[in-house]
Amino acid sequence: MNIMKAVKVAVLVVVAVVAIKIIIGFLVGTLSMVFTAAVIIGGIYLLYSIFKS
């Protein structure tokens, strides 16, 4: 019984760690995508303003 409890706890911990890693990875990926988009838009705007003047 105690071994089964230990196994259940271990599985829960592993699942929790994996879920946290996936969530953090998703957040980091989303942030990097947003940052890349902002850099591209900023670069285009900068070029446009340079050529316009």
Could you tell me the two tokens for 27? 């957040």
8-29 pLDDT tens trace: 999 999 999 999 999 999 999 9
Does residue 34 sit within a domain? yes
Burial code of 9-41, b = ≥16 C-beta within 10 A, e = fewer?
Answer: eeeeeeeeeeeeeeeeeeeeeeeeeeeeeeeee
| pTM exceeds cut of 0.85 | no
Does residue 31 sit within a domain? yes
Domains in the chain, number: 1
Q: Token pair 């019984």 is at which residue?
A: 1
The band of 36, judged by pLDDT with boundaries at 50, 70 and 90, is very high
Widest distance between CA atoms in the chain = 78
Range of the domain at 48: 25-53
Does residue 30 sit within a domain? yes
